Amino acid sequence: MPVQVLTNTNFGDVIACDTVFLALGLGKSFAEHTHKRNGFDLPPVCRVITNNYCVDRTSARDIPGWYAQQQALQERIGLAPDELLEAHIYRALDYLDEEAQNAIANDWLATLVARYDVDFSLLLGDTTSTYFEGAACQLAKHGYSRDHRPDCPQVNIEITVTHPAGFPVRQAVFAGNIPDQSYGQTLIDGVHAAIAPFQQKATLALDRGLSRLAHRRRVLQHHWDYVAGLELEGAVRKAVLALPESGFGPADLTDPDLQVAILETNVDDIPVRQYVYRSQAKAQEAEQERQRRLAQVPAAMATLQEKVDKGQYVKTAVIARRAKSILKELKVNLYYMVRVGKDKRIRLTLKEEVLAERRQLDGVFVLETSNLHLSAQQALTTYRRRDGVDGAVRVLKELIEVRPIRHWNPQRVKAHVFLCLVAYLILMVIQHVLRKIGITKRLDKVLRALHEVRLVVTRVSLAGLEELDYQVTGLSAETRTWLTALGIDLLSLPAG
């Protein structure tokens, strides 16, 4: 009885992700807010792309080939492999405009409220960047790279998620050279518009990049609260430096290393509170690192002086510039005044006042909140929950692999990021459902285990007759429990 294996493809992961796609009503939502254009049916193509992003991210041109191997997904979607072309993938990205994206996001928020009792009381916002391969896109600009790829152009992505589930609320894509501060108000308005139908009062945790005064004002104008990390500059810096040593105390903090001082102020006549935290351990680390760097200065200057004496540097302006460059490399340029006399001797003067000021700011960070009922510990705990949005960024970059972006059309870039967010939503729902039944495994390990559940199609030849045999393999008791929790009928699966 000759047996020929025809395919061995994804099953557990694609079935799980596609089931959640439908449970969230995304199939209906895509169908409602997008439409056929010249005979092109957008919703099933977006469904294919989303599943691809969830389980086995490939480039846009390789998605049709990937789909051709996904027999389980083909049966669920009802789209024949030869009906999905590379051009359809790009067409889907072209047609999934921002109006459709916002409408679809509003739909999934309503579904999250109805099915998963989502809590919008605390929202976490952050900005990240992702780099391009190629430089022809108008959004692709060089800027501060959070991917540590300053050699590549990038786009900035803002994402806002709920706590504790990490469900996405809104995303926005901006040119890579636009700083966070330039579009914060637009983002806050968008998040408020999305949440307002479900939650009248919410708290936004704003990182330092989104905490400028105009953004805090915007939150207050919406009658929301915020906990914002402030930069140690301007009026905040002066206020911290003016604090007496006796102003710091342990208050209600659970960390014995921390002390806190309290400043009362206002934003547009609305009272707000600033908690000034000081970590003794961080201050000691900063001082030790500074002393290590300062200790390298004499040898570095001596080496430069030797080069000057040998005639490698002649002009005093060039010598001074080189000395300042060395100090900057050592990250101590703020502490020294550089002078080069006519004798071409390098003379450094230590700025004692600057050094004393830096020591006073070592280990200090400031949080401002408009919720005066929050204690110092509660404000700190709320702000530290921003780790949840950092986790969202990691999932987008490491599991869904939003980067690198290879699209050159701005509309395609924004649609690509949006579909990555849809994939992220699906993975967060899977994690949420599993945690409800006590499964605390990391998401990447869950996906890896589900990936081991395969659909094997074989051709069996017997007495001149051929039959196709479908079997699910690798289904453990653990993955069976997970799939059941996600609402998948295991009795309908082919026996393996």
pLDDT at residue 282, as a whole number: 95
Structural domains of the chain sorted by starting position, each given as residue range(s) with its CATH number in brackets = 99-229+265-270+371-426 (3.30.420.10), 230-264+271-370 (no CATH)
Mean pLDDT throughout 332-338? 95
Q: Are 494 and 474 in contact (CB under 8 A)?
A: no
Residue 250 has pLDDT above 50, yes or no: yes
Render pLDDT for 381-417 as a digit per residue (tens, 0 to 9): 999 887 767 777 788 778 787 777 777 788 888 998 9
- Residue located via tokens 């799939």: 483
Non-local (6+) Cβ contacts of 209 within 8 A are 126, 127, 179, 180, 181
Q: Please give the pLDDT value at position 241.
A: 94
The three-point CA angle 332-336-341 to 5° equals 135
Mean pLDDT for 294-304 is: 95
Average pLDDT, integer, range 473-483: 87
Closest residue by Cα to residue 18 from 397, 423, 421: 423
Mean residue pLDDT of the chain comes to 87
Of 303, 301, 307, 314, nearest to 346 by C-alpha is 301
pLDDT digit string, tens, across residues 107-163: 999 999 999 888 899 998 877 888 777 666 777 777 777 777 888 888 888 888 898
What would the pLDDT profile of 449-476 be if each residue is shown by its tens digit?
998 888 776 655 666 666 666 677 888 8
Average pLDDT over residues 353-372: 95
pLDDT at 220 over 60: yes
* Nearest CA-CA partner of 384 in 396, 371, 399, 367: 367
For 322-453, strand residue ranges (E) read 336-340, 346-350, 364-369
Distance in angstroms (rounded) separating the CA atoms of residues 111 and 197: 13
Please, which pLDDT band fits residue 495 given cuts at 50, 70 and 90?
Answer: very low
The 10 Å Cβ neighbour count of residue 232 is 15
Q: Compute and round to an integer the Cα radius of gyration of the chain.
A: 28
Per-residue pLDDT tens digits for 259-293: 999 999 999 999 999 999 999 999 999 999 999 99
Average pLDDT of the segment spanning 41-56: 91
pLDDT one-digit tens code per residue, 127-140: 788 877 766 677 77
pLDDT at 426: 95
Q: What angle do CA 137, 143, 146 make, to 5 degrees?
A: 105
273 and 369 Cβ atoms separated by less than 8 Å:
yes
State the DSSP H helix or E strand holding residue 181, giving kind and residue range, or none if neither: none
Distance CA 431, CA 394 (A): 15
Residue 2 pLDDT: 63
Counting residues of the chain whose pLDDT is more than 70, the rounded percentage is 91
